[in-house]
């Protein structure tokens, strides 16, 4: 019996091939490390036994300059429709995220004071 998400796994492997991820067990480990998941989870994605969560599929598509629709469903174009390179956003650390949340919760006058102080 075929894996339930075999077609998704094929598209994921195709993206990893384009990104020159090494083949075999090293690929599973590299994928697990890059997305902070267990090797077992990465293996299940690559064999089509499970799907990543929606947010993770979005992240995968962005990271590999692929269309979300194509990765998730197989429909549409593989690459992003826009010819420009997608912006490279880096993920915030936990401390950066907490700091940003605290800053956003401040009233505007206190935000300005804090920015002036830090500048």
What is the Cα–Cα distance from 80 to 8, expressed in whole angstroms? 17
**DSSP code, position 51:** P
Same domain for 93 and 49, yes or no, is: no
Three-state SS for 25?
Answer: helix
Same domain for 53 and 25, yes or no, is: yes
Same domain for 18 and 55, yes or no, is: yes
Residue-range definition of the domain harbouring residue 51: 6-73
Same domain for 33 and 61, yes or no, is: yes
Domain-embedded: residue 45: yes
90 vs 5 pLDDT, higher one: 5
Looking at residue 96, what is its pLDDT? Answer: 81
Whether the per-residue pLDDT at 32 is higher than 70: the answer is yes
Looking at residue 25, what is its pLDDT? Answer: 79
Proportion of the chain above pLDDT 90, given as a percent: 46
Looking at residue 88, what is its pLDDT? Answer: 58
Same domain for 69 and 93, yes or no, is: no
Number of domains in the chain: 2
Give the pTM. 0.64
**pLDDT (tens digit per residue) in 33-89:** 999 999 999 999 999 999 999 999 999 999 888 999 999 999 988 775 555 455 555
Same domain for 93 and 42, yes or no, is: no
Looking at residue 7, what is its pLDDT? Answer: 95
Same domain for 68 and 15, yes or no, is: yes
Same domain for 66 and 31, yes or no, is: yes
Same domain for 53 and 14, yes or no, is: yes
Exposure string for 18-45, b = 16+ CB within 10 A, e = fewer: eeebeeeeebbeebbeeeebeeebbbbb
| CATH code assigned at 49 | 1.10.260.40
Domain-embedded: residue 78: no
């Amino acid at each position: 019996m075929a894996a339930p998400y075999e077609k998704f796994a094929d598209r994921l492997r195709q993206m990893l091939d384009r990104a020159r991820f090494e083949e075999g067990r090293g690929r599973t480990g590299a994928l697990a490390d890059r997305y902070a998941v267990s090797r077992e989870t990465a293996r299940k994605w690559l064999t089509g036994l499970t799907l990543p969560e929606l947010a993770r599929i979005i992240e995968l598509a962005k990271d590999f300059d692929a269309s979300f629709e194509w990765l998730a469903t197989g429909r549409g174009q593989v690459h992003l429709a826009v010819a420009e390179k997608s912006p490279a956003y880096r993920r915030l650390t936990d401390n950066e995220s907490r700091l940003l949340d605290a800053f956003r919760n401040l009233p505007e006058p206190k935000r300005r004071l804090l920015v002036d102080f830090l500048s």
